């Protein structure tokens, strides 16, 4: 994949990250699930494109590293699916695998 495409996806992911953080701080009553899903989707696409790369964008690595901890500290009540997807995103980006099987489960599960 060409570097400009990776750069574009990383920049888009960081824009979605800022949108999510803004939504977290602006409305204390309603959790910004849509903004989180937008960030998650773009970051997942980026992770899939860079799976075989030795290096990833520093800013995006900083946003995803410790994401679950950040979410738990930011709000008292975080929806369970958000925490699960955040943990899944950390695995996809840093470990190179998706812990969520959905259709390609190993035999016997």
76-107 pLDDT, tens per residue?
A: 889 999 999 999 999 888 887 777 766 655 56
**Total domains present in the chain:** 1
- Evaluate whether residue 7 is within a structural domain: yes
Please report whether residue 69 resides in a domain: yes
**Residue 68 belongs to a domain:** yes
Q: What's the rounded Cα separation, in Å, for the pair 103 and 76?
A: 34
In a domain, 85, yes or no: yes
pTM for this predicted structure: 0.85
109, part of any domain: no
The domain of 90 spans 3-95
How far apart are the C-alpha atoms of 99 and 88, rounded to whole Å? 6
For residue 103, tell me if it sits in a domain. no
pLDDT tens sequence across 23-51: 998 867 789 999 999 999 999 999 988 88
For 8, 27, 28, 32, 68, the CA distances from 93, given in Å and listed in that order, are 17, 29, 29, 22, 14
């Amino acid at each position: 994949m060409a570097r400009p495409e990776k750069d574009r996806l990383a920049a888009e992911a960081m824009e979605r990250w800022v949108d999510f953080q803004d939504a977290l701080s602006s409305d204390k009553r309603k959790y910004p699930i849509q903004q989180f899903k937008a960030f998650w989707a773009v970051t997942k696409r980026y992770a899939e494109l860079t799976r075989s790369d030795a290096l990833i964008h520093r800013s995006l690595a900083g946003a995803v590293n410790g994401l679950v901890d950040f979410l738990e500290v930011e709000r008292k009540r975080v929806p369970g699916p958000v925490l699960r997807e955040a943990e899944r995103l950390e695995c996809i980006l840093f470990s190179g695998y998706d812990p969520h099987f959905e259709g390609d489960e190993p035999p016997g599960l």
